[in-house]
Structure 1
Amino acid sequence: MSEATPHYIVITVGTNGDLHPMMRIAQTLQSLGRQVTFVSHSYYENMVRDAGLAFIGLGTDEEFLRILRNPDIWNPRKGLAALMANYGEGLQQTIASIRSISTTAPKMVIAHPFAVPGAIIARELGLVTSVAAAYLAPSNLRTCHDPLTIGDVSVPRWVPMSWRRALWRLVEKKWVDPVALSHINAVRLPLGLSAVDSFLTHISQTPDLALTLFPSWFAPAMPDWPHPLLEGDFQLFESSKQDGLSPDLSAFLAAGEKPLVFTPGTGNLHAVDFFKHALAAIQSTGRRAIFLTREPAQIPSKLPASVIWLAYVPLKALLPHVAALVHHGGIGTTAEALRAGIPQLVVPFAWDQFDNGARIAAIGVGQVIPAKRLRPRKLAHRLQHLCTSDTVRAQCATVASRFTPAFDAFAFCQEIERQLLAAGHGVRLLNKND
C-alpha cells in the first residue's frame, strides 16, 4: 500500500444509532484498501472489533453508562448540558487518540458533529490533513428553512425569516453555547488556538466537507446547510453475526398474527412508562407484541403470553415479519422501518427524534405521539389506524421501493475522497483495485 494512500480516522459518539452508520462507512473504506481506525466509546470495543475494524476507545464503560443513567439525557431542554458534562475531557482524549496513530500516510477524519471540534483542533495542530463532518440526521444541520424543528418545537411556516434567525440566536445564546464553548475553549486556548464564539457555526463551517447520511427524498438539502456538501443515503450497518432470528423468536412469529414491536432505542434506560403504556394498549386491542430493550427493569413484571421481551434483535431480520414499529425516532431505527416497508409510530423523547418523526408523518408512513403525551388509549387508537389503513400500507411499499437498488456505498466513499481532493488536499483518488 502506498504511503500516499490516506489513513482514515472515523470518530463518533452516542449509541448504536450513531455508531452503525459510521461503521458502515469505515468498513467500506477498508474494503477499498484504506487503513481505517475507528474511535468511539470504549464501551463499544467488542462490537467494533467484531466488525473487523481497528479501534481506539474513549473513556471508560462506567463513564459512558453514567451519562445514559442520567434521566436528563432524554429531556429536550436539559439533554445537551447532561451530554456535555465532561465534553472537554472527551475532546482531549480524541486529540490524543489521533496523535497515537503512527503512520506516514495522510490522515483524514470523518467525524460525528459532536466530535468535529476535536478533529478541527487536530487539523490545526497538523495531526490530520482534512476533516469531513458526517450528519446522521437532518436536524443535526442548522437551518432557518422549512421544515424547522428545534428540539420539541416545530416552527410554523408563516414565521418570517428574520424571526427564525433570531430564534436560532436565542437558542444558541441560552442553551447551546453556555454548555459547549467553555469546554472547547479550555482545550483550544492552552494550545495557542483562537477561541470559538459559536458552537453551531464552528461545527458547520470549519470542516472541509459535510456529508449527509440520509437521502434527499427524506430531507432535501437546505440553502443554508454547509458547503461543500455531499448528499448520501442511510448507512445501514449489517453485521454477519446478527443475520438470523432465534428459534424461540421464529416460533413466536409463526404462532399468530404479525406482532407489533416496541423499542425506545438501545441507549434509553428511562422508558418504564413507554412499556407500561404499550402493554395497556396491547391488552385493550388483543394484539401480540415484542418488547425490545437491554434494560429488563423497564419491562412490566408480568407479561401475557401474547407479549415477549428480548434484549436485542437485528431490525433488518425482524421488521419484515411485524405489523408496525413503535419507537423513539432514532434515525437508524427510522431507516430500518422505512426499508422494511412497515408503518411507524414515533414516540420522540429528545434530540433529532422530533424532526425524524415529523418527516415520517409528512411522508405518510406513520404518526407521532411525543413521549410525554403517550397514553394507552391514544396509542391503541393510532396503532389501529396505522395497521388497517390501505393508504399507509401503500405508501410504506412505495417508500420501501426506494431502497432498491441498494445504495452504492463504494461510490459514496470514492466521492468523499474526490471532494476532499477538490478542496485542495494532495491525496490520490480511491481505486477499488488498489
Structure 2
Amino acid sequence: MSALHVVVVTIGSAGDLFPFTRVALALRDSGQRVTMLGPVQHAPFVAPTGLAFHGLPADEAVLDHPDLWHPTRGLAVVWNATRPAMAQVPAFVAALPPGERVLLLVHPLALPEADLCRARRPGLKVAAAYLAPSNLPTVHDPLLLGPYPVPRWVPLGLRRRLWRRLGEALINPVALPSVNAARADSGLAPVADLIDFIVKVPDLSITLFPDWFAPTQPDWPQPLARTGFPLYDPSPEAELSPEVARFLEEGARPVVFTPGTGNRQAADYFRCALDACARRGRRAILLTPHREQLPAQLPTPVLWQDYVPLRALLPHVAALVHHGGIGTTAEALRAGTPQLVVPLAHDQFDNAARVGRLGVGASLRASRLTPGRLARRLAEVVDNKDVADACRRVATHAAPAELAPLCARLLSLAQ
C-alpha cells in the first residue's frame, strides 16, 4: 500500500505551530508523506526540518487589534483573522492527486474547512488535534466561562444552558455567517451551532496534553486519543548566549517574564514587572521580540532578550511569569519551574487554573494586574517549599510525549 499523505493544518503563533510540527515529524519518521499548512511567516521555523510547507496568508496587523487579548471579544478577532487562510485549505486538498490516500490533521478552527474538503473528496479522513483542554467543550468540572469559574454545585442542566447562551451570544454570530456562506457555495446545508457542528466533524479527536493535566470528560468527543505534551524545540542544540549565561552567574536566580511572543500590547505588563521586582529586590529577565514595549533604560539587575530557548533557560531561574499559553505552561512543567500565570484571554484562564490545582504556581488575571499585586503573588511562588516540591513531582511526568502510539492510531484511521 502506498504511503499516506498527511496534510497538517495549523494557525496562530509559533506556540500553536510547534506541537503540530513535532507530530508531523513523528509521522514522517514513520514513513508517511507529510505537508504542513500554516501562516506564511512561520516558514523559517519549518524549513530546517525538511518538511514540505505551504504558507497561508496571515495579517500580522491583528497583533495590534485592541480586542485581541480581550476575554470575550478576542475570539472574534482570532476567528476573522484566520478565515482567509482557512479558505485556501479546500482548494489545496482538491488539487491533490485523486487516487492519493490523504488524512487531514487539523487545528480545531480549521474543522469547518475540513468538512468542505471531505465533501469534495469522499472518504477523506479528518483528525482534530486540541492543544489545550479548554478547546474541548464540556459542562463538567472544572468549568470556566472566560475568567470566571462555575461553582461545582451548579447542576448540569443549568451548565448546558449557560454553554448554549455563550454560543448564541459570542460564537455563532461571529462564526456562522462565513461558515454557512462557504457551505452554501459547496451545496451543503447550513449549520445551526458552531460548537455542536465542529465536534462532530473529526473521525478522531486528539488531545495534545496528558490525562494528568486534564482528565477526560464524559462529554468530550469520541473516538478520542490521548497523548502527552508534544514539546518541540526548533533549535534543540542551542545553548544560552554568553550574555544570558553571564547574567545568570552574576547574582541570584532571576524571575523570567514573558507575555507571549505574539503580544505587542504588553507595555503595562512589563512596567508592573519592573516595579514588582524592584519592590522584592528581584533580578529579572524580560523576554519579548518587541523591544519598544520596554523603557529605553532598564535597571541594572534586569536583562532584556528577544528570544531565549526556555528549555535551556528555565532550569536556572526562580520562577516564570507568563501569559498561560499551553506551550509555555508545558515547558515550565517539564523544567520543574514555579509559575505565575497572568492570563488575558482564550485558553489561558483554564491553563492558569490547572497550574494552581497542580500546586506548581499561582495566577493573577491581567485585568487585575498592578505592581503591588504582582509583587505579592511572586512572594507566594518564589522560594515556596510546597510549590518547589510540587514542581519536582510534576516534572517527573512532564517529559515530551512518546508519539509512536498516536502515529499508529492515525495510520489505522486511514486504512
Same fold (TM over 0.5): yes
Instruction: Quickly say closer, same or farther: Cα 1:246–1:86, change in 2 above 3 A.
Output: closer
Contact 2:68 2:78 in 1 (8 A): yes
In structure 1, what is the Cα distance between the partners aligned to 2:120 and 2:97?
15
Aligned residue in 2 for 1:11: 9
Contact 1:327 1:333 in 2 (8 A): yes
TM alignment of 1:321-336, pairs within 5 A: 321-336=316-331
Cα displacement (A) at 1:361? 0.4
TM alignment of 1:190-201, pairs within 5 A: 190-201=185-196
In structure 2, what is the Cα distance between the partners aligned to 1:106 and 1:235?
25
Which contiguous aligned blocks of 4+ residues in structure 1 show a shift greater than 3 angstroms?
100-104
Task: Output the TM-score relative to the length of structure 2.
Answer: 0.97
Unaligned runs of 5+ in 1: 428-434
Q: Is 1:304 aligned with 2:299?
A: yes
Task: Output the TM-score relative to the length of structure 1.
Answer: 0.93
Q: Is 1:410 aligned with 2:408?
A: no
Contact 1:137 1:212 in 2 (8 A): yes
In structure 1, what is the Cα distance between the partners aligned to 2:106 and 2:269?
32
In structure 1, what is the Cα distance between the partners aligned to 2:88 and 2:351?
31
TM alignment of 1:38-57, pairs within 5 A: 38-57=36-55
Q: Deviation string for 1:377-401 (max 9, x for gaps)? A: 1111211221121111101000001
Q: Deviation string for 1:311-369 (max 9, x for gaps)? A: 11111111111110000000000000000001100000000000000000011011010
In structure 2, what is the Cα distance between the partners aligned to 1:86 and 1:380?
36
In structure 2, what is the Cα distance between the partners aligned to 1:180 and 1:298?
32
Query: Which of 22, 25, 36 lines up with 1:24 in the alignment?
Result: 22
TM alignment of 1:240-259, pairs within 5 A: 240=235, 243-259=238-254
In structure 1, what is the Cα distance between the partners aligned to 2:82 and 2:18?
22
In structure 2, what is the Cα distance between the partners aligned to 1:243 and 1:282?
28
Unaligned runs of 5+ in 2: none
In structure 1, what is the Cα distance between the partners aligned to 2:329 and 2:88?
31
Instruction: Quickly say closer, same or farther: Cα 1:382–1:199, change in 2 above 3 A.
Output: same
Identity rate of aligned residues, in percent? 46
In structure 1, what is the Cα distance between the partners aligned to 2:235 and 2:404?
19
Aligned residue in 1 for 2:158: 163
Matched letter for residue 52 of structure 2: A
Aligned residue in 2 for 1:231: 226
How many residues get paired? 415
Cα displacement (A) at 1:257? 1.1
Cα displacement (A) at 1:301? 2.2
Q: Deviation string for 1:104-148 (max 9, x for gaps)? A: 431101100101111111011107710001000000000000000
Instruction: Quickly say closer, same or farther: Cα 1:241–1:387, change in 2 above 3 A.
Output: closer
Matched letter for residue 137 of structure 2: R
Aligned residue in 2 for 1:340: 335
Cα displacement (A) at 1:247? 1.1
Aligned residue in 1 for 2:181: 186
Cα displacement (A) at 1:87? 4.7
Aligned residue in 2 for 1:112: 107
In structure 2, what is the Cα distance between the partners aligned to 1:67 and 1:111?
22
SS in 1 for 2:68: helix
TM alignment of 1:56-95, pairs within 5 A: 56-60=54-58, 63=59, 65-95=60-90
Instruction: Quickly say closer, same or farther: Cα 1:109–1:264, change in 2 above 3 A.
Output: same
Contact 1:244 1:317 in 2 (8 A): yes
In structure 1, what is the Cα distance between the partners aligned to 2:157 and 2:296?
52
SS in 1 for 2:307: coil
Query: Which of 262, 280, 293 lines up with 2:275 in the alignment?
Result: 280
Aligned residue in 2 for 1:368: 363
In structure 2, what is the Cα distance between the partners aligned to 1:52 and 1:381?
47
In structure 2, what is the Cα distance between the partners aligned to 1:399 and 1:22?
23
Aligned residue in 2 for 1:432: none
Query: Which of 381, 384, 390 lines up with 2:385 in the alignment?
Result: 390
